[in-house]
Amino acid sequence: VFHRDVSAIADLNFDFIVVGGGTAGSVIANRLTENPNFQVLVIEAGPSNQNVLNSQVPFDAFSLGNTRFDWNFTSTPQSGLGGRIVPYTRGHILGGSSSINSMFYTRGSSDDYDRLARISGDSGWSWDNLQPYIRRNEKWTKPADQHDTDGQFDPAVHGFSGMTFVSLPGFPQEIDDRVIKTTHQLNHEFPFNRDMNSGTPLGLGWLQSTIGGGTRSSAATSYLSANATQRSNLHILLETRVTRILSTTRDQLSMRAVEVLSSSGTLTVANASKEVILSAGTIGTPTILLHSGVGNKEELEQLGITSILNLPDVGRNLTDQPVISVNWATTSQSPFDGLLTNTTLEAQELAVWQTNRTGPLVTVGINHVAWLRLPDNSPILNEFLDPSAGPNTPHIELAIGSGMASFFPGHFVGVGAATVTPLSSQSSDAPLPNSPDEFSTGGTVKLGSSDILAGPLIDPAMLSSKFDVQALREAIKSAKRFFAAPAWKDFVLGVVGPVANATTDQELEDFVRSTAFPSGHVVGTAAISAQGAPHGVVDPDLRLKHVSGVRIVDASVLPFVTCGHTQAPVYIIAERAADLIKNDWK
């Protein structure tokens, strides 16, 4: 049942209130309302995803930033980026960031989850024990062009009856054969990996995406499809912002109420008899907690916010993967090159998409990804403690695409390169921890004022660690080796843009610092830690530490970023969280 006005729920009683109808919030809403005895309210700040064409057409994913479907946050000036302020895109729409993201489906490595189990002291978060939840989420389906996918994935590691569609690329690129040939020619550096979601992502393989039938499959289209939203025990209040969570008894640390700002500007309070579940994302969740007086006591009091609980790690340890892009000119004659900039061709292809959900618009223009480790003898790994979760975990991602995905007209191939295990250190003289599991990054979400409507101050401390810069530098060198393979002879001409003339390490570093941007894979601001640990924000069962009635379920709880894109980990965490909550209220 959808509502747009807070008055519509005034007379209703809820067992659970889910704050944020995003990736995780949609999972929780669906799974809890499978129990007809649970009355659930979801409060989402953004509008409905219904009929938002750009959220449906995969190729249009990039057009959703800087619109009303984005919170339109920006970072604080980043000294690691030469003082630049960078956009901080976050979904402001039902389905949250899953309604606006690039749809890569990457679980990360088995090492990542085993590390989470180690950090939390809860073996329930290990790779093996999460397998049922991975399968509950995933609904593997054929690609839009129905091509033969034999050898392009491993069916044994996939779920076929879950909720969110996952498929291989549904439109061929002219470079596909050359990419695969390169895995043979440069087998040592870029070995073919049949399935990057098997727990061992290293190597180069076919990208899997949350796309089904040529259309984006988001948390809203899967978990909040009509099947769920027709349930009389599920209420979804759209275009309504939660400003704070509030104490409900004289015991300040029982917080089962939320303060809600309606679209017309009035403040009201809604109560949950069982739990409030914060699923407002890595930026939204700490923002709400800080406004509620849960955070660093001293910092909050300086802003005039009454402290309810001194929990200094709220908003700390914000971790994001820095990305750069590098392009090569080619001799291609492909009509689809520059599609993003050719409005006439894109309109024609949109008509094809609208008629039968095929054509180049069924992908984001990337068909392959390479996941690479820095060599064990790399000087970077001598200088820094290896930040990866283990030997099956890459440090670098190269997303490889033809000119289709290029932002300029012309004929190109390109890579989006990321440091997927960033360190972004607290300060250059911060002592090294004893083990990588103890790393905490220097990124933060803070408040600049007690005004509940003032935006958060987002500081990802991007490229503040030399490791992150050096890994990106290695990524560029690796991509150059990739396109120098014989497979690219007579096709690839040369690197374009400012990196073309960058040969020394300093020149490459200058390029990295002047062009890197955040990936959107931001985590860590309400991190899980072991039961009873003095640090962290939530216990292993995702309850807010020292508080009753509040759980956090979203990307903010990840204490470190998994070695890939983060929506699959969020779906997996949310599926298990739903089970934990249901079990607690049997």
Ligand X SMILES: Cc1cc2nc3c(=O)[nH]c(=O)nc-3n(C[C@H](O)[C@H](O)[C@H](O)COP(=O)(O)OP(=O)(O)OC[C@H]3O[C@@H](n4cnc5c(N)ncnc54)[C@H](O)[C@@H]3O)c2cc1C
Nearer to ligand X, 279 or 478 (CB): 279
Is 242 annotated in some ligand binding site? yes
**Smallest distance from the beta carbon of 376 to ligand X, in angstroms?**
28
Nearer to ligand X, 312 or 455 (CB): 455
C-beta atoms surrounding 410 within 10 Å: 14
Q: How far apart are CA 360 and CA 349, in angstroms?
A: 7
Nearer to ligand X, 166 or 179 (CB): 166
| Amino acid identity for residue 78 in this structure | Q
Beta strands in 98-221 (DSSP E): 138-140, 164-166, 203-206, 211-212, 215-216
DSSP 8-state code for residue 253: T
Q: How far apart are CA 30 and CA 19, in angstroms?
A: 14
Nearer to ligand X, 228 or 288 (CB): 288
List the one residue from 6, 24, 472, 577 that touches ligand X (CB under 6 A): 24
Contact predicate 389/563, CB 8 Å:
yes
Q: Please report whether residue 22 would count as binding ligand X according to CB under 6 A.
A: yes
User: How many residues interact with ligand X (rule CB under 6 A)?
Assistant: 42
**Smallest distance from the beta carbon of 22 to ligand X, in angstroms?**
2
Catalytic residue, candidates 92, 235, 411, 521: 521
Q: Please report whether residue 452 would count as binding ligand X according to CB under 6 A.
A: no
Q: How far apart are CA 386 and CA 419, in angstroms?
A: 13
Q: Please report whether residue 45 would count as binding ligand X according to CB under 6 A.
A: yes
Q: How far apart are CA 230 and CA 232, in angstroms?
A: 6
C-beta atoms surrounding 146 within 10 Å: 9
List the one residue from 30, 33, 49, 101 that touches ligand X (CB under 6 A): 101
Q: How far apart are CA 371 and CA 201, in angstroms?
A: 6
Nearest to 458 by CA among 524, 542, 392: 524
Token pair belonging to 191: 């070995």
Buried b (16+ CB within 10 A) or exposed e, 538-561: bbbbbbbbebebbbbbbbbbbbbb
Nearer to ligand X, 241 or 543 (CB): 241
Q: Please report whether residue 521 would count as binding ligand X according to CB under 6 A.
A: yes
Contact predicate 97/279, CB 8 Å:
no
Contact predicate 518/322, CB 8 Å:
yes
List the one residue from 43, 157, 372, 487 that touches ligand X (CB under 6 A): 43
List the one residue from 3, 16, 18, 23 that touches ligand X (CB under 6 A): 23
User: Is 368 an active-site residue?
Assistant: no
Q: Please report whether residue 20 would count as binding ligand X according to CB under 6 A.
A: yes
Q: Please report whether residue 242 would count as binding ligand X according to CB under 6 A.
A: yes
554-583 binders of ligand X (CB under 6 A): 554-555, 565-568, 570
User: Is 521 an active-site residue?
Assistant: yes
Greatest Cα pair distance, the chain, in angstroms, is 75
List the one residue from 80, 96, 293, 460 that touches ligand X (CB under 6 A): 96
**Smallest distance from the beta carbon of 155 to ligand X, in angstroms?**
21
Annotated binding site: 242
Annotated binding residues for FAD, written as ranges, equal 242
**Residue ranges binding ligand X (CB under 6 A):** 19-25, 43-46, 65, 89-92, 96-98, 100-104, 106, 241-242, 279-282, 284, 288, 520-521, 554-555, 565-568, 570
